[in-house]
Amino acid sequence: MKPKISIITLGVDDLERATRFYSEGLGLPTHNVEGDNISFFSLEGTWLALYPREELAKDIGLTDSNQVGFSGITLAHNVASKSDVDAVLDQAVSAGARLIKPALEVFWGGYSGYFQDTEGYYWEVAYNPY
């Protein structure tokens, strides 16, 4: 795994309010994407994403967005290929992480899976063909 965080995703209760806060209130530059269920902000060296908390929990494979260990925050590590996703997930599990969601083709056109590190933080490892 390369030493970088591609995206920090915050699970939010009110996407419209949170988007307005970060874009208008803090002046973060937005990055438009298709659909209206997620907001992205381009930062120096990484991205900030806002996604409905319930949907973020579902994406990880959790049945309860208030589940112990789920703080409403995920970290994402983007890689160059599907095989790299599998390799990083394997590396994380070998290092003591728990595989939460095996990698698979996802609704937005990429390939991703999740692991939980030894301290309970959720990481998405993703290949984005776009």
Name the pLDDT band for 71 (thresholds 50, 70, 90): confident
Alpha-carbon 106 to chain mean position: 12
Kindly report, residue by residue over 110-122, the tens digit of the pLDDT: 999 999 887 678 8
Predicted confidence (pLDDT) at residue 34 exceeds the cutoff of 70: no
Judge whether residue 69 has pLDDT over 80: no
Closest by alpha carbon to 93, among 105, 85, 104, 83?
85
For the chain, the first-to-last Cα distance in angstroms comes to 21
